[in-house]
Copies of this chain bind each other. A is one copy, B any other.
């Protein structure tokens, strides 16, 4: 069953994106309805916002390898983003998938699509599970 994570952090509140977990294909998703606050000076999706969505979907995909809440904390070690096409106003959705890794490090890719089907950006990254002893 799909569940949404909203307003979990200061940045998530500021930007307004929504994380979804519980999809039957095991992916984590992160979507945002674009408005003027998310655009750059070319009036298309700001690359920094696109990266934030890819990063969030990837981190949540990592979390799903721990439990199904999507909230087990993962840190981004490194992230590479390819800006394939402009993102016009509308809903954009990043989908994250784990491609490999061990207990601590995970390799995670994500794709950001516009609701009209356009591939806007892709990312590949290395993510690290936050050790439990660091959380107390």
Which A residues are within 8 Å of any B CB, using their own CB? 8-11, 13-15, 35-42, 46-49, 51-53, 55-56, 73, 75-85, 99-101, 105, 107, 109, 119, 122, 124, 126, 128, 130
The SS class assigned to the A binding surface is mixed
Least Cβ distance of A96 to chain B in Å? Answer: 14
A77-B83, A100-B84 are known contacts. Are A124 and B124 too (CB-CB below 8 A)? yes
Contact A14 B14 (CB under 8 A): yes
Copies of chain A in the complex: 4
Instruction: Give Cα distance in the complex from A10 to B107, angstroms.
Output: 28
In the complex, A83→B38 CA distance in Å?
A: 23
B77 touches A130 (CB 8 A): no
7 residue pairs from A and B, CB less than 8 Å apart: A10-B40, A11-B37, A47-B52, A78-B80, A80-B81, A82-B99, A109-B122
Q: Which of B36, B48, B119 contacts A55 (CB 8 A)?
A: B48
Distance from A98 Cβ to chain B, minimum over Cβ atoms (Å): 10
Cβ B14 vs Cβ A37 within 8 A: yes
Quick one: given A52-B46, A107-B122, are A78 and B81 in contact (CB under 8 Å)? yes
Asked if B75 contacts A83 (CB within 8 A), the reply is yes
